[in-house]
Amino acid sequence: TACSSKYVLSQMHPMWQGPLVVPGGDRQSPIDIAVRKTVFDSELKPLVATYDPQTCQQIWNNGYSFLVEYDDTTDKNTLKGGPLKDKFRLCQFHFHWGESNDWGSEHTVDRRLFPAELHLVHWNSDRYTLFEEAVMEENGLAVIGVFLKVGKRHEGLQKLVDALPAIRHKDSIVEFNRFDPGCLLPANIDDYWTYHGSLTTPPLTESVSWIVMKQHIEVSHDQLAVFRSLLFTSAEEVQKSMVNNFRVQQPLRGRTVRSSFT
Ligand SMILES: Cc1cc(C)cc(S(N)(=O)=O)c1
Ligand SMILES: [Zn+2]
């Protein structure tokens, strides 16, 4: 699909901690969300996410994370409202996680780390026709971030967990249908923080309206352990477990993080 964003992903390599700060980058992600410094914005609207599970196409290991990709050639999976002026199309979702439950998320809340973080990547289909165009533009992308905590088993996630052994190695891909990404959103999506930032993976373009959910979701220890059974490496290489695939927090550089709640 248009959003397979292979070119975006191809610049990545597994143990990428990458450049700490992009030269001239003053809108980099992820960041620490210092709650006391966030600013309530009463103009922020409720988020409206509409997803069609039938448009789920494949799941693949890109050597950095695993991506679940959707058909983004029509407006079947849309995100609007919240801080967004335009309509955005879901192209893929993926996760970041640690080797232990003590860390793994990209964003932090008052320096608190979570064991993992989900990213639902959308591109601005009101202004652009392809993901590849949008990814280079200031208002091109909208990414929803959801923190994961270890607790009870997430029933909706299990179908995805069961598919992971088939994509253990880098560049492996399997058909994956009828998965509702909405089942991974927390019950309350009205409470979120939002700021302007970047991709957290190369090319780190500063084209993202970040929408980070206040409420986390819970997954079981065993489900997260299957994430960690994935490999950064291809079948021919020496095996490296796919863990710690997160970027370190970047300087806020004077940006304001707005909250949709008081
Ligand atoms: C387009 C895109 C691809 C990937 C692998 C990761 C991101 S992120 N972490 O900035 O949400 C975005
Ligand atoms: Zn991500």
Query: Which atom of ligand 1 lies at the shortest distance from residue 200's CA?
Result: 10
d(CA 129, CA 78) in angstroms, rounded, equals: 14
To the question of pTM greater than 0.80 for the whole model, the response is yes
Which residues does ligand 1 sit against, CB inside 6 Å?
Answer: 5, 8-9, 64-65, 94, 119, 121, 143, 199-201
Residue range 7-48, pLDDT digits in tens: 444 444 444 555 554 566 899 999 999 999 999 999 999 999
User: CB under 8 Å, gap of 24 or more: what pairs does 128-136 form?
Assistant: 130/2, 131/2, 131/3, 131/5, 131/72, 131/91, 132/2, 132/5, 132/7, 134/207, 135/5, 135/8, 135/199, 135/203, 135/205, 135/207, 136/205, 136/207
Ligand closest in space to the Cα of 29: 1
Q: What is the pLDDT of residue 19?
A: 53
Question: How far is residue 171 from each of residues 2, 20, 99, 116, 238, measured CA to CA in Å?
Answer: 17, 26, 21, 22, 15
Closest CA to 60 of 89, 107, 93: 93
Residue range 160-176, pLDDT digits in tens: 999 999 999 999 999 99
Residue range 105-161, pLDDT digits in tens: 999 999 999 999 999 999 999 999 999 999 999 999 999 999 999 999 999 999 999
Residue range 190-230, pLDDT digits in tens: 999 999 999 999 999 999 999 999 999 999 999 999 999 99
Q: What is the pLDDT of residue 43?
A: 97
Find out whether 190 and 4 touch, Cβ atoms under 8 Å: no
Q: Give the three-class secondary structure for 194.
A: strand
State the sign of the Cα–Cα–Cα–Cα dihedral 121, 125, 126, 130: positive
Ion ligand 2 nearby residues (CB, 5 A): 119
Tracing tokens 């609007």 back to the chain, one arrives at: 80
For residue 39, which phi and psi values (nearest 5 degrees)? -115, 120
State the sign of the Cα–Cα–Cα–Cα dihedral 69, 186, 166, 11: positive
Mean pLDDT, residues 58-70: 97
Best of 17, 66, 97, 201 for a ligand 1 pocket test (most atoms within 8 Å of beta carbon): 201
* ipTM value: 0.98
